[in-house]
C-alpha cells in the first residue's frame, strides 16, 4: 500500500492522473507503507536476482504484473586505476549504461509503464532530452501501449533518437528546448490525450530508487560516504535520497551518503541555488551544454533535489563542457567504462571537488554514470583523435601507427 502526497503541503492526492497538487500546485511524491518490508531481513531480498524487482516491497505497483525488460542489476565497478590518478582512496562507478535501453531511465519506466497499465491508459507520453523517450518507447512497446515523445529540436543525441524511432513511438520534434516540450506534454496530459511519464510522475522516481538499493546491496550493506550524480530535470538525486531514507527508517543502514549533484556550467540553476543557500532556484532561460541529456534550464524536480542535497550535507557543483569531455575519456581510457557526456559530469565533478578539497581523499565515493557512451556517437567522434588511414599493407599500417 502507498499514498500519493504533495511534497510541499503534505496533502493526500486522490486523482491518479494529476501531475501536481490540486491545492497548492506542489510536486507529488509517494509515501510507501513500509510495514510489509519491516518483516524482511535485507539479505532475504537476495532470493531474487539483482535488479529493480528484487526491491518489490519498496515499489508502489504489483510486481506480478510488471512490464519488465529485466532492468537494473547494473555493474558497480571498483575503479582501481582511476583512484591512483585522482589521489583518492576508493571510487566505485555504478554503470547505468548497462540497462536494457542504455540508461538509468529504465528503472523508473518499468514502474511507470506498469502503473499506466494498472490505470488502463492506452497512450503514454513524455518530453525528453533523449533517454526518457528511448526508454518509454521500449517499455510502451513491451506493454502494448501507444507512445508519443516530444523532443527539443536538433539537440537529441543520435543513439537516443534512433531508439525512440525504432521502438515505434510517435516522435515529435518541437521548436524549442526541453523545458518548452515539457510544458506542452503536461498540457496534453491534462487534456487526457496521454498519460504523462516524465519524472514529475511520482511513480518514476520510485523505480529509480533502486539504483541506491543496489549500490548498498553490492557493497554488502556498507554505506558510501558520498554519492555523486549528474542533475538535469533533478528527479534522480531525489529518488536516491528517498531510497536511502526508506532503508534508514527500517534500520537497514545507519546513515545517508552526502548526495552531490553535478550540472553543466551552461545549465546550472540548482548549483546557483545551492551556492546562495536557497531551497528554490531561478530557471536558466538559455541552457546550453555538450551534455544534451542535462540541457535543462527549469528542472521540474529542482526543489526536491535541493532538499536531498541540503538534508544530506551534500554539495552541488558545475563543470564545463571541456571538463566533461576530458572526464569521459579519462573514465573510458583508464577503466574501460564508456559513458555519455552527461554521465561523465559526475566524474568531472568528483575531480573538481577533490581538487578544491570539498571531497576529502579518504572518502568512499560512488559516482552514478547514468547513460551509455553509444547514446551519443557524434560527440565522441568530435572529441577523440582522428582515424588513421593506411594502404592495405602491413608496412603502411606500421608506418601510420608508429
Helix (H, G, I), strand (E, B) or coil at 152: strand
CA distance 230 to 127: 19
Which residue shows C-alpha cell 523532443?
151
157, 293, 350, 351: which one binds ligand AN7 (CB under 6 A): 293
One DSSP character per residue, 41-80 reads -GGGGGGSPSSGGGGGGGSSS-GGG---S------EEE-H
Is 181 a binding residue for ligand AN7 by CB under 6 A? The answer is: no
Residues binding ligand AN7: number (CB under 6 A) = 21
Q: Rounded to an integer, what distance in angstroms lies between the CA atom of residue 21 and that of residue 15? A: 10
**Minimal distance in Å, beta carbon 262 to ligand AN7?**
9
Pairwise CA distance, residues 146 & 143, whole Å = 9
Q: Which span sits near ligand AN7 by CB under 6 A: 7-15, 72-80, 328-336, 339-347? A: 339-347
Write down the least CB distance from residue 234 to ligand AN7, Å: 5
Residue 74 binds ligand AN7 (CB under 6 A): no
The three grid cell numbers given for residue 66, joined into one nine-digit string: 510488471
> Considering beta carbons, is residue 20 or 208 the nearer one to ligand AN7?
208
Q: Is the CB of residue 26 less than 8 Å from the CB of residue 20?
A: yes
Cell of 307: 532538499
207 lies in the site for ligand AN7, by CB under 6 A: no
- Give me the least distance between CB of 23 and ligand AN7, in Å please: 25
One-character DSSP codes across 232-247: SSSHHHHHHHHHHHHH
> Nearest distance from residue 270's CB to ligand AN7, in Å?
9
Residue 263 binds to ligand AN7 (criterion: CB under 6 A): no
26 scored as a contact of ligand AN7 (CB under 6 A) = no
* Cell numbers representing residue 21 in the block: 497538487
Q: Which region among 6-14, 56-64, 114-122, 338-346 touches ligand AN7 (by CB under 6 A)?
A: 338-346
Nearest to 327 by CA among 294, 373, 287, 361: 373
By CB under 6 A, name the one of 202, 371, 373, 380 that touches ligand AN7.
371
Q: Is residue 157 involved in binding ligand AN7 (CB under 6 A)?
A: no
Dist. CA 189–CA 179, nearest whole Å: 15
Tell the smallest beta-carbon distance from residue 40 to ligand AN7 (Å).
28
**Residue labelled with grid coordinates 511524491:** 29
Out of 68, 74, 103, 260, the residue judged to bind ligand AN7 by CB under 6 A = 103
Q: Among residues 55 and 238, whose Cβ is nearest to ligand AN7?
A: 238
Closer residue to ligand AN7, CB minimum distance, 163 or 343: 343
Q: Name, in order, each residue with C-beta under 8 angstroms of 187's C-beta and a sequence gap of 6 or more.
A: none
Could you give the CA distance from residue 195 to residue 188 in angstroms, rounded to a whole number?
A: 9
Stretch that binds ligand AN7, among 50-58, 77-85, 233-241, 350-358 (CB under 6 A): 233-241
Distance between CA 176 and CA 354 in Å, rounded?
37
**How many CB atoms lie under 10 A from the CB of residue 332?**
16
Cα separation, 305 vs 261, in Å, equals: 8
Beta carbon nearer to ligand AN7, 50 or 231 = 231
> Is position 318 an interface residue for ligand AN7 (rule: CB under 6 A)?
no
Kindly state whether residue 29 participates in binding ligand AN7, applying the rule CB under 6 A.
Answer: no
Closest C-alpha among 202, 154, 153 to residue 180: 153
Minimum CB separation from ligand AN7 for residue 315, in Å?
A: 15
Q: For 317, phi and psi rounded to 5 degrees?
A: -145, 155
Does residue number 114 form part of the binding site for ligand AN7 (CB under 6 A)? Answer: no
131 near ligand AN7, rule: CB under 6 A:
yes
Cβ-Cβ contacts under 8 Å for 391 (sequence gap 6 or more): none
Among 71, 206, 323, 340, binds ligand AN7 (CB under 6 A): 340
Instruction: Work out whether 230 is an interface residue with ligand AN7 (CB under 6 A).
Output: yes
Among 60, 343, 348, 352, binds ligand AN7 (CB under 6 A): 343
Complex with ligand AN7: residue 45 or 59, whichever CB lies closer: 59
**Any contact of residue 370 with ligand AN7 (CB under 6 A)?**
yes
Q: Nearest CA to 111 among 148, 139, 133, 150?
A: 139
**Are the C-beta atoms of 149 and 171 separated by less than 8 Å?**
yes
Of the pair 57, 338, the CB lying nearest ligand AN7 is at: 338
Interaction between residue 129 and ligand AN7 (CB under 6 A):
yes
Q: Which residues bind ligand AN7 (CB under 6 A)?
A: 103, 128-132, 199, 230-236, 293-294, 340, 342-343, 370-371
Amino acid at each position: 500500500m502507498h499514498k500519493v502526497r504533495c511534497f510541499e503541503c503534505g496533502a493526500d492526492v486522490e486523482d491518479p492522473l494529476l501531475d501536481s497538487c490540486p491545492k497548492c500546485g506542489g510536486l507529488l511524491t509517494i509515501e510507501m507503507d513500509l510495514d510489509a518490508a519491516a518483516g524482511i531481513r535485507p539479505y532475504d531480498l537476495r532470493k531474487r536476482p539483482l535488479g529493480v524487482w528484487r526491491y518489490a516491497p519498496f515499489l508502489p505497483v504489483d510486481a506480478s504484473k510488471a512490464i519488465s525488460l529485466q532492468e537494473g542489476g547494473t555493474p558497480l565497478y571498483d575503479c582501481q586505476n582511476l583512484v591512483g590518478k585522482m589521489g583518492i582512496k576508493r571510487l566505485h562507478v555504478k554503470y547505468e549504461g548497462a540497462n536494457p535501453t542504455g540508461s538509468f531511465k529504465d528503472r523508473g519506466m518499468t514502474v511507470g509503464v506498469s502503473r499506466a497499465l494498472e490505470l488502463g491508459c492506452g497512450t503514454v507520453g513524455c518530453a525528453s532530452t533523449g533517454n526518457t523517450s528511448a526508454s518509454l518507447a521500449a517499455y510502451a512497446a513491451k506493454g502494448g501501449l501507444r507512445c508519443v515523445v516530444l523532443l527539443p529540436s536538433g539537440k537529441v543525441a543520435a543513439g537516443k533518437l534512433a531508439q525512440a524511432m525504432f521502438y515505434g513511438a510517435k516522435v515529435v520534434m518541437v521548436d524549442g528546448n526541453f523545458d518548452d516540450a515539457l510544458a506542452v506534454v503536461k498540457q496534453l496530459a491534462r487534456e487526457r490525450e496521454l498519460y504523462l511519464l516524465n519524472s514529475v510522475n511520482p511513480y518514476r522516481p520510485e523505480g529509480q530508487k533502486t539504483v541506491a538499493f543496489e549500490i548498498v546491496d553490492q557493497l554488502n550493506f556498507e554505506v558510501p560516504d558520498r554519492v555523486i550524480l549528474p542533475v538535469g530535470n533533478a528527479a534522480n538525486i531525489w529518488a536516491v535520497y528517498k531510497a536511502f531514507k526508506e532503508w534508514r527508517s527500517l534500520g537497514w543502514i545507519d546513515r545517508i551518503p552526502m548526495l552531490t549533484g553535478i550540472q553543466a556550467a551552461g545549465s546550472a540553476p540548482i548549483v546557483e541555488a545551492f551556492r546562495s543557500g536557497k531551497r528554490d532556484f531561478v530557471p536558466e532561460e538559455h541552457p546550453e551544454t555538450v551534455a544534451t541529456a542535462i540541457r535543462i534550464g527549469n528542472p521540474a524536480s529542482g526543489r526536491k533535489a535541493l532538499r536531498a542535497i541540503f538534508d544530506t550535507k551534500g554539495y552541488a557543483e558545475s563543470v564545463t563542457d571541456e571538463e566533461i569531455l576530458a572526464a569521459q575519456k579519462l573514465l573510458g581510457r583508464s577503466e574501460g567504462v564508456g559513458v555519455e557526456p552527461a554521465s561523465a559530469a559526475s566524474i568531472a565533478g568528483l575531480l573538481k571537488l577533490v581538487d578544491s578539497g570539498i571531497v576529502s581523499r579518504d572518502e568512499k565515493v560512488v559516482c552514478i554514470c547514468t547513460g551509455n557512451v553509444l547514446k551519443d556517437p557524434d560527440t565522441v567522434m568530435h572529441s577523440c583523435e582522428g582515424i588513421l588511414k593506411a594502404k592495405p599493407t602491413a608496412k603502411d599500417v606500421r608506418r601510420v601507427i608508429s
